[in-house]
Amino acid sequence: MHMKVPEVRRCCFCFPLRQGIIVFGYINLIISLAVVVCLVITTELKKSKLTGDTSLEVITSTILFSILGMSIILNIVLLVAGYQKDISMLRLYNYYGSLIILASFVPTMVLTSRLMFLDVFAALCAIATQCYVILLVRSEVVKLEHEEIQLEGGTRCDEEAIDISDRETLL
C-alpha cells in the first residue's frame, strides 16, 4: 500500500524550506530545554513527597525526561544537518524523530488515564509540531536528492527520468 505524502515547498507558507527547518530546530531546542528544566524541578519536588498516588506520575515524568533528552540531541542534529545540507543526518533525524513520536504516545496515554488533560493537550501539540517538522525535513531531503541527481546528470531535468524512492513514503 502506497500513500502519497505531500511535498512541502515552504515552511509556514512564508519561510524557505531550509531556513524554516533551522528556525523550527531552534524553537524546538529552546522549548525542549525549558520543558526539561521544569520537568526536573517538578519531578524532584514530587519525589520528596512520594506517596502511592504520585509514584506513577514520577515514573511518567522520568520517561518524558528521557524522551525530551533525546529530543534535545535530535534538535542539535537537525540544526547541524540544516546548516550543512547533509542528507544522511536529515534522514537520521526523520527516523529517530518518528521513533520519539511513537514513544511519546505511551506517557501521553498514562497522562490521559490520570485525567491530566492540560498535560495531554501540551503533549499532543508537541507531537503535532514534531510531525510537521518531520514532513518539512522529508521535503528537504527530497529536494536535496533532486538537486544532487540534477548535478550528477548534467542538464537532465525530466521529472519522469528522476526516480526518488522517498516520494511516496514518509521516511
Half-sphere exposure of 148 (CA within 13 A, CB side): 11
Q: Is the pTM of the predicted complex or chain greater than 0.85?
A: no
pLDDT averaged per 10 residues, the chain (length 171): 75 85 90 79 70 67 78 91 92 91 84 78 84 90 90 62 55 58
Residue type (1 letter), 57:
E
The number of residues making up the chain comes to: 171
Residue 159 is classified by DSSP as G
pLDDT of residue 169: 57
Whole-angstrom CA distances from 154 to 146, 147, 148 are 12, 11, 10
Task: Return left, alpha or beta for 115; rule: phi > 0 is left, psi -120 to 50 is alpha, else beta.
Answer: left
